[in-house]
Amino acid sequence: MEFGPHLLLATLEGAVGAAVLALTALGLSLVFGVMRVVNVAHGEFYMLGAVVAWFVASAMSAHPAFGFMAAVLIAPAMAGLVAILADRLVLKRLHYDPEATIVATIGILYIMQQTALMTFGPEARPVAPPFNTRIPLPWLEYGENGFNLFYPWGLSTTSYKLFVIAAAAVILVSFALFLSRSRFGLIMRATQLDRETALTFGIPVERVYSLVFGLGAALAAFAAVLIVPIQQAHYLMGADPLLLSFIVVIIGGLGSLRGTVVAALLIGMSDGIISVFFSPTLAKILATLLVALVLVFRPQGLYGKKRA
Amino acid sequence: MLKLEGVSTGYGPVQVLYGVDLEVQRGEVLCLLGRNGAGKTTTLKAIMGLLALHAGAISLNGHDLSALPAHDVPKQGIGYVPQGRRLFAELTVAENIDIGLMTRNKGPATRDRVLEMFPRLRERLAQRAETLSGGEQQMLATARALCLEPSVLLLDEPTEGLQPSMIRLIRETVEAMRREGVAIVLVEQRIEAVLTLSDRVAFIENGRSREVVDTKTLDRTSALFKKYVGV
Report the complex ipTM.
Answer: 0.93
What are the strands, taking DSSP E only, across chain B? 2-11, 14-24, 29-33, 53-60, 63-64, 78-81, 152-156, 183-187, 200-205, 208-214
| Residue B117 reports pLDDT greater than 50 | yes
Residue A63 has a pLDDT of: 82
Residue A307 has a pLDDT of: 55
| Residue B177 reports pLDDT greater than 70 | yes
Instruction: Please state, for a pLDDT cut of 90, what percent of chain A lies above it.
Output: 67
| Residue B214 reports pLDDT greater than 80 | yes
Tell me phi and psi for residue A250, to 5 degrees: -70, -45
Show which of residues 175-214 on chain A sit within 8 Å of chain B, judged by CB atoms. 183, 186-187, 189-190, 193-194, 196-205
Pick from B144, B41, B38: which is nearest to B89 by CA? B144
Q: What is the pLDDT of residues A214-230, one digit of tens each?
A: 999 999 999 999 999 99
Residue B205 has a pLDDT of: 92
Q: Are A64 and A56 in contact (CB under 8 A)?
A: no
| Residue A290 reports pLDDT greater than 80 | yes
Q: Do B103 and A186 touch (CB under 8 A)?
A: no
Residue A305 has a pLDDT of: 72
| Residue B166 reports pLDDT greater than 60 | yes
Q: What is the pLDDT of residues A58-96, one digit of tens each?
A: 988 778 888 999 999 999 999 999 999 999 999 999 999
Nearest to B99 among A186, A196, A305 (CB): A186
Tell me phi and psi for residue B62, to 5 degrees: 85, -10
Q: What is the pLDDT of residues A229-244, one digit of tens each?
A: 999 999 999 999 999 9
Ranges A42-51, A63-72, B121-130: which has the least confidence: A63-72
CA A47 to chain centre: 11
Show which of residues 6-25 on chain A sit within 8 Å of chain B, judged by CB atoms. none
Q: Do A200 and B82 touch (CB under 8 A)?
A: yes
Instruction: Please state, for a pLDDT cut of 90, what percent of chain B lies above it.
Output: 81
Pairwise CA distance, residues B10 & B100, whole Å: 27
In angstroms, the separation between the Cα of residue A267 and the nearest Cα of chain B is 28
Q: Are B111 and B101 in contact (CB under 8 A)?
A: yes
Going along chain A from its start, the domains and CATH numbers come out as 3-131+156-297 (1.10.3470)
Nearest to A199 among B50, B88, B91 (CB): B50
Residue B10 has a pLDDT of: 94
Average pLDDT in the A266-285 region?
Answer: 88
Q: Do A199 and B70 touch (CB under 8 A)?
A: yes
pLDDT interval class at A308 (50, 70, 90): very low
Q: What is the pLDDT of residues B17-52, one digit of tens each?
A: 999 999 999 999 999 999 888 999 999 999 999 999
Selected residue with higher pLDDT from A276 and B89: B89
Decide if A3 touches B, using CB distance below 8 A: no
Nearest to B91 among A190, A203, A205 (CB): A190
Instruction: Classify residue A30 as left (phi > 0), alpha (psi -120 to 50) or beta.
Output: alpha
Residue A306 has a pLDDT of: 61
A198 chain-B contacts, CB cut-off 8 A: 99
| Residue B184 reports pLDDT greater than 50 | yes
| Residue B158 reports pLDDT greater than 50 | yes
Q: Are A263 and A24 in contact (CB under 8 A)?
A: no
Pairwise CA distance, residues B178 & B159, whole Å: 17
pLDDT interval class at A135 (50, 70, 90): confident
Nearest to B80 among A194, A200, A205 (CB): A200
Q: Are A45 and A86 in contact (CB under 8 A)?
A: no
Q: Do A202 and B71 touch (CB under 8 A)?
A: yes
Which residues, listed in sequence order, are joined to residue B59 by a DSSP beta bridge?
A: B3, B64
